[in-house]
Amino acid sequence: MGTQQAGDAFLRNLDGLRGHTVASRPSWLGELRGAALGRFTRLGFPTTRQEEWRFTDLSRMLSIRFEPACGGASDGLASEAWALVHALPGPRVVLVDGHFRADLSVTAAGRGIVVDSLCRVLRDSPGLLAPHLAHYAPWREHPFVALNTGLATEGVFVQLAAGAVQEEPVHLVHLWTAAGKARVAHPRALILAEPNSRAAIVESYWGSHGSVSLTNAVTEIVVGRGAVLEHAKLQEEGDEAFHMATVQVHQQSRSSFTSHVVFLGGSLARNEINIRLEGRRCRCTLNGLYWARGRQHMDLRTRIDHAQPACASEELYKGILDERARGVFNGKIYVHRAAQQTDAKQTNRALVLSDQARVNTKPQLEIFADDVRCTHGATVGQIEPEAMFYLRSRGIAERRARQLLIWAFANDVVGRIGLAPLRTAVEQLLTAGDGLSVGPVAGRLP
Amino acid sequence: MLIVKNLHVRVGDKPILRGIDLEVHAGEVHAIMGPNGSGKSTLAQVIAGRDTYEVTQGEVYYEGVPLLEMEPEERAREGVFMAFQYPVAIPGLSNTRFLHAALNAIRKHRGLPELDAIDFLALIREKAAFLQMDAGLLERPVNEGFSGGEKKRNEIFQMAVLQPRLAILDETDSGLDIDALKIVANGVNSLRRPGRAFIVVTHYQRLLSYIVPDRVHVLYEGSIVRSGGKELALELEASGYGGLQRGAARDAAPALP
């Protein structure tokens, strides 16, 4: 089945999906949903004939008849998920199969801080959402964002009032339970960090092997003037999961935003992070790691719009590809005419461990200002023989040397995660957590 | 400890070593000097096990065992160590983690218990302090962002931790200022033992004022053209390598039995 026919089948199924959306009140929300679905119907699903989707073929995903997820009854959180939940004792919102679980969540309304399910906020204080929801993510242009905007039934709302400091990281947990049916959810997050606030937010996505699911997530983030926000997204869904996501970030002047994206799970997974630097003297740092094995397909995209002067962005994305995996990286930096004194640095590296693995990597710099410093570097390679020899010449066996070098390649990104509990959790996912004494022996390493 | 017999080595079609004979006994320090391109580093790397070189003729015995048949890690576990001329940077792997893996691989091979993190950290802190190495370098990624001098000192630090029986220093003096050179030389001298041998590969005599060799060999166009005592280094310092010619060997290395 081609993408077009598959998309049509998916669309025929749409009415069934629509029936499960929450009551479209207040009226602005109903109008928004209607407009977004209308937009989606016109856009259709992307095909590989479109440049942005050239290397990511959706036909297999679109041939699956997904049903809207029902709330998970089981508490079948993956043990790794629980470990991270317990390591992050702050406020959290847990969605199981796309549905909010109050019993597992620790919502907060500390001084100046709201962390809650989107539906509850919609019910109790929709006025908080109206000025922001769907004001940032590009639902008019992007079919999956449109679909999410039209169909999202649940999500997360985080608000930090001006000057508020949230000491403990906020954890947004998304979990798929095991199930025989193919299910879809469209989780939506809205994160508002008002001027001079400070917080760290972790989004984690977990699943069960052997269960088919589609997560179509949209996260909108506003980083107000002088605010400092660290955002991490960990995706460790099951081996038959599809994950399509857009993270849209708007930064106001003198704000600082750091993103960590770690993609390990899923069958086909794509993440787009778009940063708009809309005030002067913003800083943003984007770190990314993907590790694809088997027949996994991972597509990681970043776009940074330098719209105002004197902003700095720094980006490091790394991918590891093994077996028959396929990786796609696209990193765009767009420097608008007004954005003088832009300092932008992008690095992306791919480590290809097998003859059958492939990666397409494309840095794109579009610069319309003249007083800027922009650098980018992209490499695709294998393990360096010089490094192998160096390790072996110190007594480390060949296989172990290879493991350590793969670990080092990944850890160069993981080590930049400032939140120690998250860093540890990621290290454990990568290595089975055997610590300093013996180093990585199992886990993902060959 | 080390016997090199008629060693011929090439890279691609290019012969680099053309019949090296060398015998190093436990407790000795041998210096290998020679102009750029004479094959000094090739000899060091072949002994350490680098596979980009092709040995076309000759043999190398280490403690009576044919060395060339051993993998680089086996050589290391048996006590061969080379301080690299160009140490490799490994972003993402801390010096500590790297060296801990190395030391435990070697200890395990020797039938010694592996060191846990606490004992290991105590050991490396002591060694680092002795070499006046900034303790901050221990947690940094291996050689990443290290200055030239820090990299060379890190090699000697690894040697002090791993305690080899045969240590080859490949141009460890290049890029060192005089203070760093003295610290490195002190480190090496403190590791001199009756049971341990050193091969010091260097372009200049300077290092040999601090690490005084028992024997000096001059390598020229892939052959040892002269061998002598420590005074040979001084002589070369005065006369330079210009006067050397292939086949003009005086006092050459004694023929091996």
Note the pLDDT tens digit of each residue in A317-373.
Answer: 999 999 999 999 999 999 999 999 999 999 999 999 999 999 999 999 999 999 999
Q: In this structure, what are the phi and psi dihedrals at residue B120, rounded to the nearest 5 degrees?
A: -65, -45
Q: Which residues of chain A does B75 touch, with a Cβ-Cβ cutoff of 8 Å?
A: 393
Interface-testing mutation among A289, A392, A430, A441, with chain B (most B C-beta atoms within 10 A): A392
Given pLDDT bands bounded at 50, 70 and 90, which one contains residue A7? Answer: low
Do A185 and A82 meet the contact criterion of CB atoms below 8 Å apart? no
Strands B2-11 and B54-62: antiparallel
Measured distance CA(B229)–CA(B218) in Å, rounded: 11
Q: Where are the domains of chain A?
A: 3-279, 389-446
Give the pLDDT confidence score for residue A6 in this predicted structure: 56
Q: Are the C-beta atoms of residues A60 and A116 closer than 8 Å to each other?
A: no
For an interface test with A, which of B71, B84, B93 has the most A Cβ atoms less than 10 Å from its Cβ?
B93
A415/B88 Cβ within 8 A? no
Q: Tell me: pLDDT of A438 over 80.
A: no
Predicted confidence at residue B100, as pLDDT, reads 95
Q: Residues B153-196: pLDDT tens digits? A: 999 999 999 999 999 999 999 888 898 899 889 999 999 999 99
Strands B141-142 and B90-94, sheet pairing: antiparallel
pLDDT of B254 strictly over 50: no
Measured CA to CA, the distance from residue A258 to residue A202 in angstroms comes to 12
Statement: residue A382 has pLDDT above 80: yes
For residue A386, list chain B residues with Cβ-Cβ distance below 8 A. 88
pLDDT of residue A371: 96
**Stretch B100-120: mean pLDDT:** 95
* Band of pLDDT at residue A435, cut at 50, 70 and 90: very low
Mean pLDDT within A285-299: 97
- Which of A184, A204, A254 minimizes the C-alpha distance to A224? A254
> Which among B77, B81, B90 has CB closest to A387?
B90
pLDDT tens track for B197-206: 999 999 888 9
Reply yes or no on whether the pLDDT at A440 is more than 50: no
Q: What's the rounded mean pLDDT across residues A188-197?
A: 98
- Percent of chain B at pLDDT exceeding 90: 78
Give residues 179 to 208 of B whose Cβ lies within 8 Å of A: none
pLDDT, mean of residues B94-120: 95
Element (H, E) at A273: strand A268-277
Q: Do B73 and A415 touch (CB under 8 A)?
A: no
Q: Residue range A428-445: average pLDDT?
A: 50
pLDDT(A442) > 70 = no
**CB within 8 Å: B105 and A392:** no
Strands (E), chain B: 2-11, 14-24, 29-33, 54-62, 65-66, 80-83, 90-94, 141-142, 166-170, 197-202, 215-220, 223-228
> Two tokens at B66?
């044919």
Examine the pLDDT at B250 and tell me if it is beyond 60.
no
pLDDT at A131: 95
Check if the beta carbon of residue A295 is closer than 8 Å to that of residue A327. Answer: no
Band the pLDDT of B130: cuts 50, 70, 90.
Answer: confident
Q: Which of B49, B90, B100 sits opposite A393 (nearest CB)?
A: B49
The angle subtended at Cα A75 by Cα A72 and Cα A80, nearest 5°, is 115
**Looking at the predicted structure, is the pLDDT value of residue A303 above 90?**
yes
The predicted structure's pLDDT at residue A192: 98
Query: Residue A24: pLDDT above 80?
Result: no
Tell me the per-residue pLDDT of B53-67, one tens digit each, with 9 for 90 and over. Answer: 999 999 999 999 999
Q: Give me the mean pLDDT over the B116-122 stretch.
A: 93
pLDDT in tens, A208-233: 889 999 999 999 999 999 999 999 99
Inspect the interface and report whether the beta carbons of A408 and B71 lie closer than 8 Å. no
What gap in Å lies between CA A299 and CA B118, rounded to an integer? Answer: 42
pLDDT of residue A77: 64
Q: For helices B117-130 and B95-109, give the axis angle rounded to 10 degrees.
A: 110
Q: How far does the CA of residue A408 sit from the closest CA of chain B (Å)?
A: 4
Instruction: Using DSSP bridges, classify how beta strands A67-68 and A155-160 pair: parallel, antiparallel or unpaired.
Output: unpaired
Give the chain B residue nearest A413 (alpha carbons). Answer: B92
| pLDDT surpasses 80 at B17 | yes
What does the mean pLDDT of chain A come to?
Answer: 90
pLDDT average, residue stretch A150-158: 93
Tokens of A179: 């199930």
Residues A126-139: tens digit of each pLDDT: 999 999 999 999 99
B166 interfaces chain A, CB cutoff of 8 Å: no
Asked whether the predicted pLDDT for residue B256 surpasses 80, the reply is no
Considering only CB atoms, B93 lies closest to which of A389, A408, A437, namely: A408
Average pLDDT over chain B, rounded to an integer = 91
CA atoms within 13 A of residue A429's CA, in its CB half-sphere: 29
Q: Does B112 touch chain A (CB under 8 A)?
A: no
DSSP string, A79-117: HHHHHHHHH--S-EEEEETTEE-TTT-B-B--TTEEEEE
Q: How confident is the model at residue B24 (pLDDT cuts 50, 70, 90)?
A: very high
Q: How far is A311 from chain B (nearest CA, A)?
A: 26
Return the pLDDT at B252. Answer: 46
Q: How far is CA B120 from CA A437, B99, B107, in A?
A: 9, 9, 12
Structure tokens at B216: 């000096």
pTM to 2 decimals? Answer: 0.89
Average pLDDT over residues A141-162: 95
8 Å CB contact of A412 and B91: yes
